[in-house]
Structure 1
């Protein structure tokens, strides 16, 4: 996933990977969130034997890469999913 939002400073990358970790305090925050998304994604990825990568540049955006082992990927049977097109 990649976005071109506010980005995260290199010095803050470890902080945002902690549960509830956020760069700004709740009173000065301009971006909403709980601080759980990135740590949860990393934990789920690693629980499946995968690799989680986070790259970000302040003022330019963020890129998150998730790599899962092939044996953990299950093909979706689209015929069995109602409304899938």
Structure 2
């Protein structure tokens, strides 16, 4: 992957994360599956970008961001299963 392509992938990831935060802020009752899925996608895209344009602290941050998103998806799935 070229550096330019990695930048495009990184910008797409950034757009995902910012969009998820905007959605979370704008909605009265946001769907947690949307928020966490889009955050996970964004973290993954940014991580791919960061493997080409290496920035270790940012790569670690995206790993943590992905873990939090997965945790949120697991919690949302557990909450959905416990609904009547």
**Normalising to structure 2: TM-score of the pair?**
0.30
Higher share in helix? 2
Higher share in strand? 1
Radius of gyration: which is bigger? 1
**Normalising to structure 1: TM-score of the pair?**
0.30
